[in-house]
Chains A and B, each alone.
Chain A
Amino acid sequence: DGGITQSPKYLFRKEGQNVTLSCEQNLNHDAMYWYRQDPGQGLRLIYYSQIVNDFQKGDIAEGYSVSREKKESFPLTVTSAQKNPTAFYLCASQSRQKSTDTQYFGPGTRLTVL
């Protein structure tokens, strides 16, 4: 079945540690996105990538880094520079072929800093 997978579902991190969240899609989508969601809030864009080996900062990129070495994969690293990383992280992908196509979301990773 085509879709987006994120792992792990839950992640616990000690302060000062870097952690990497996985996002994989088999929808053959060019564009991929990372969002952060805080309790009771909407989604805020962290990074996005329209093609392999290229990505752009979103609205809240500070303290995060990404890579896009393969079309299927768009991992997000939460670095120790991110002051308040506890949140729900959602990955999404989208076809660039159809302007009417929606973003498809993964199930999310809930990150908690201990």
Chain B
Amino acid sequence: AQKITQTQPGMFVQEKEAVTLDCTYDTSDPSYGLFWYKQPSSGEMIFLIYQGSYDQQNATEGRYSLNFQKARKSANLVISASQLGDSAMYFCAMREAVNSGGYQKVTFGTGTKLQVIP
């Protein structure tokens, strides 16, 4: 089974509009973390936002917010007021423990390509 699922291979959004990128996850570990990264065409991975499994509030970072619905195992990224520079690949990722020795592993989704239209 996929650990992280991003069902939208590509999305278009009009400049200045909001857009939601979907992410669902699967884990039996009660303690986990969820991340969103942006990857421009240059290839660098840019950290956007983090949500811990025990966090009560949805995470926000500037124009980015994470809509965390724990019971549904979803962690959607919302980008408000889209800008042309937001055009990039966006990856959802989950960190979980892999054994009792404190080892942690991060699994990435397949990504969503967002294109912002002027």
Contacts and interface: CB of A to CB of B under 8 A. Distances in A.
A30 to B, nearest CB: 10
Contacts of B93: 43
Given A41-B110, A42-B108, A50-B102, A88 B47 contact: no
B105 A48 contact: yes
Interface string A25-42: 000000101010000111
Interface of A is mostly: strand
B106 interface: yes
A25 to B, nearest CB: 14
Given A41-B111, A42-B91, A96 B44 contact: no
Interface of A: 31, 33, 35, 40-45, 48, 50, 56, 58, 88, 90, 92, 94, 96, 99-100, 102-105, 107-108, 110
Interface of B: 4, 6, 31, 33, 35, 42-45, 47, 50, 52, 91, 93, 98, 102-111
